[in-house]
């Protein structure tokens, strides 16, 4: 009888452990494995990125265009933003895509005829937000070390020749050659860019895969995050208005 009682207790404890593990796994998934934001995409050419009718189109594309960091929604992916996308392995969950973004992006672009003569982008890395504060806080002192390296930049080093003046809503595909500074390291890169002119705005998206080791970034790991991929993706969605 004593053995039978101990067996019932053991079975009860095992069942409780299974339930707790299931609940814990569910909570971990909600915290670390929630819905992943879609990659940046261009908005409908008939609408502004904020979802309202575009303003009057400028008479000429020539001149300086300033990054608009206040229009649209970061949560919906309709604002200017820059950020990262990287694969990670989570304890008890498996593969997950971590995405962090910030709307605090400044910079400008200069156009002369069919040539983009200048393009510069600066990102406040300390304001990056993902789906969990703990990940963001880790990146302040590990990985991206945003407390030590609070700013990332891209600077065009060669003019971009578009070829012909784009029409409203027409998508153009170009490659921007320039210097990317990340984690205090500057390297020459070629960034594929897709852009369109819509009303009073120019909208552009860019995505670049980077090897973390090239920028001296050591992937942070711990009890929950078992491993992080050696390569991550820098993403940008930029809205420009005429200066």
11 within some domain: no
Domain around 238: 33-242
Residue 147 counted as domain residue: yes
Q: Are strands 151-156 and 231-242 parallel, antiparallel or unpaired?
A: unpaired
Q: Look up the CATH number of the domain holding residue 213.
A: 2.40.128.110
Q: Is residue 12 part of a domain?
A: no
- Stretch 219-236: mean pLDDT, rounded? 89
Number of domains in the chain: 1
Of 8 and 70, more confident: 70
Percent of the chain with pLDDT over 90: 62
User: Does residue 59 belong to any structural domain of this protein?
Assistant: yes
Residue 10 lies in a domain: no
Q: Which two tokens stand for residue 128?
A: 């990056």
Asked, for residue 18, whether it belongs to a domain, the answer is no
Q: Does residue 215 register a pLDDT over 60? A: yes
Domain presence at residue 148: yes
CA 158 – CA 156 distance, rounded (Å): 6
pLDDT-above-70 percentage for the chain: 81
Q: Is 19 a domain residue?
A: no
Cβ of 41: how many Cβ atoms within 10 Å? 11
- Taking the C-alpha atoms of residue 11 and residue 228, their distance in angstroms, rounded to an integer, is 37
pTM over 0.85: no
């Amino acid at each position: 009888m004593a053995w039978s009682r101990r067996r019932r207790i053991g079975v009860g404890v095992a069942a409780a452990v299974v339930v707790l593990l299931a609940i814990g796994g569910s909570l971990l998934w909600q915290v670390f494995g929630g819905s992943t934001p879609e990659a940046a995409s261009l908005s409908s050419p008939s609408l502004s990125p904020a979802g309202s009718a575009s303003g009057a189109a400028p008479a000429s594309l020539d001149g300086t265009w300033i990054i608009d960091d206040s229009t649209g929604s970061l949560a919906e992916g309709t604002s200017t933003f820059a950020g990262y996308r990287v694969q990670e392995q989570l304890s008890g969950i498996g593969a997950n895509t971590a995405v962090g973004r910030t709307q605090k992006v400044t910079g400008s672009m200069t156009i002369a005829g069919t040539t983009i003569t200048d393009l510069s982008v600066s990102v406040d890395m300390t304001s990056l937000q993902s789906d969990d504060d703990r990940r963001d806080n880790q990146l302040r002192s590990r990985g991206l070390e945003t407390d030590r390296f609070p700013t990332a930049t891209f600077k065009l080093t060669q003019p971009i020749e578009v070829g012909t003046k784009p029409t409203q809503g027409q998508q153009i595909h170009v490659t921007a050659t320039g210097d990317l500074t990340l984690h205090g390291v500057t390297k020459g890169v070629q960034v594929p860019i897709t852009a369109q002119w819509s009303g009073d705005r120019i909208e552009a998206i860019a995505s670049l895969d980077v090897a973390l080791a090239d920028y001296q970034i050591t992937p942070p790991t711990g009890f929950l995050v078992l491993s992080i991929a050696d390569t991550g993706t820098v993403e940008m969605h930029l809205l420009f208005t005429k200066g």
